[in-house]
């Protein structure tokens, strides 16, 4: 079945960097666009970034533009999110999600990023 | 950017109740609206897409309606496993893909 598994979260100091990974299985990864969505503690969902199936187009939320980079390796069935210049307000659970017809489905289980000194 | 406003933000209901959640868009989005359910500590789950199409495996007590700027999610008979937070999302005009602020459904 379709499965997405995130990894790479952890505690990082303000100004630091972190790279998240999302391992995909159970579908033809190279045929689908992918998203990153985050959720700060006790808050709602915030879309972060999108990459087309072939990596040719990438979009970012204004809140992360210039600091985060989405990428993918279709040979490894893996999605990435490189996060630089991290701020306290980037603290959240980060989910990867498949760009399905009409919505995001499925989602991974999430990985927690905590930005704190 | 398109803003989505859900109402109510919180509701308290009993098992068996009919529950309706509304999502209003700041501009017309045709039928490009999805609904998600999220339980504590879990990832969101797609319930409905294209405003009214039930995702595979989702119980038929869930239904969606609307187009343009006003949409509703209805649970015809609330079950214990339905207590969760529900989000709407627009997929008409992007980026960004925006979500409503969420509606938490709790047990009365």
Give per-residue pLDDT as tens, A47-74: 999 999 999 999 999 999 999 999 999 9
Alpha-carbon gap, residue A106 to A52, rounded angstroms: 16
With beta carbons under 8 A apart, name residues in chain A contacting B98: 47
Per-residue pLDDT band for B4 (boundaries 50, 70, 90) equals very high
The pLDDT assigned to A12 comes to 98
Q: Say which residues have a Cβ less than 8 Å from residue A85's Cβ, sequence separation at least 6.
A: A15, A17, A67
Give per-residue pLDDT as tens, B31-81: 999 999 999 999 999 999 999 999 999 999 999 999 999 999 999 999 999
**Among A80, A86, A63, CA closest to A12:** A86
Alpha-carbon gap, residue A81 to A71, rounded angstroms: 7
The pLDDT assigned to B61 comes to 98
The pLDDT assigned to A16 comes to 98
Alpha-carbon gap, residue A68 to A64, rounded angstroms: 6
Instruction: Name the residue facing B89 among A60, A62, A103 (closest C-beta).
Output: A103
Per-residue pLDDT band for A85 (boundaries 50, 70, 90) equals very high
The pLDDT assigned to A35 comes to 98
Per-residue pLDDT band for A101 (boundaries 50, 70, 90) equals confident
Read off the tokens for B51. Answer: 């405003």
Q: What average pLDDT score do residues A74-78 get?
A: 98
The pLDDT assigned to B108 comes to 87
Instruction: Name the residue facing B46 among A61, A62, A103 (closest C-beta).
Output: A103
Per-residue pLDDT band for A20 (boundaries 50, 70, 90) equals very high
- Output the average pLDDT for chain B: 97
User: A86 — phi, psi (to 5°)?
Assistant: -65, 145
Nearest Cα of chain B lies from the Cα of A22 at a distance, in angstroms, of 14
Q: Does A109 touch chain B (CB under 8 A)?
A: yes
Residue contact B99–A44, C-beta within 8 A? yes
Instruction: Name the residue facing B34 among A44, A62, A102 (closest C-beta).
Output: A102
- Output the average pLDDT for chain A: 97
Task: Select the residue from B9, B21, B96 to test the A interface by mutation, using most A Cβ atoms within 10 A.
Answer: B96
Alpha-carbon gap, residue B21 to B68, rounded angstroms: 16
Whether residue B107 has pLDDT greater than 90: no
């Amino acid at each position: 079945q379709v499965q997405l598994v995130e990894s790479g979260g952890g505690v990082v100091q303000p100004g630091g960097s972190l790279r998240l990974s999302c391992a995909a299985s159970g579908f033809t990864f190279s045929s689908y666009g992918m998203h990153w969505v985050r959720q700060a503690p006790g808050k709602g969902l915030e879309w972060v970034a999108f990459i087309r199936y072939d990596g040719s187009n990438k979009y970012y939320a204004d809140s992360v533009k210039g600091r985060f980079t989405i990428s993918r390796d279709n040979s490894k069935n893996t999605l990435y999110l490189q996060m630089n210049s991290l701020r306290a307000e980037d603290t959240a659970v980060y989910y990867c999600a498949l760009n399905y017809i009409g919505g995001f489905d499925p989602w991974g289980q999430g990985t927690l990023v905590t930005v704190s000194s | 950017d398109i803003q989505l406003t859900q109402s109510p933000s919180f509701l308290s209901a009993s098992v068996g109740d009919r529950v309706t959640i509304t999502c209003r868009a700041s501009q017309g989005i045709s039928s490009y609206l999805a609904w998600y359910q999220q339980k504590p500590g879990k990832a969101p789950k797609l319930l409905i897409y294209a405003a009214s199409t039930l995702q595979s495996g989702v119980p038929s007590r869930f239904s969606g309606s609307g187009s343009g700027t006003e949409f509703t999610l209805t649970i015809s008979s609330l079950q214990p496993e339905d207590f969760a937070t529900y989000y709407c999302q627009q997929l008409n005009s992007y980026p960004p893909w925006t979500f409503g602020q969420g509606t938490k459904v709790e047990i009365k």
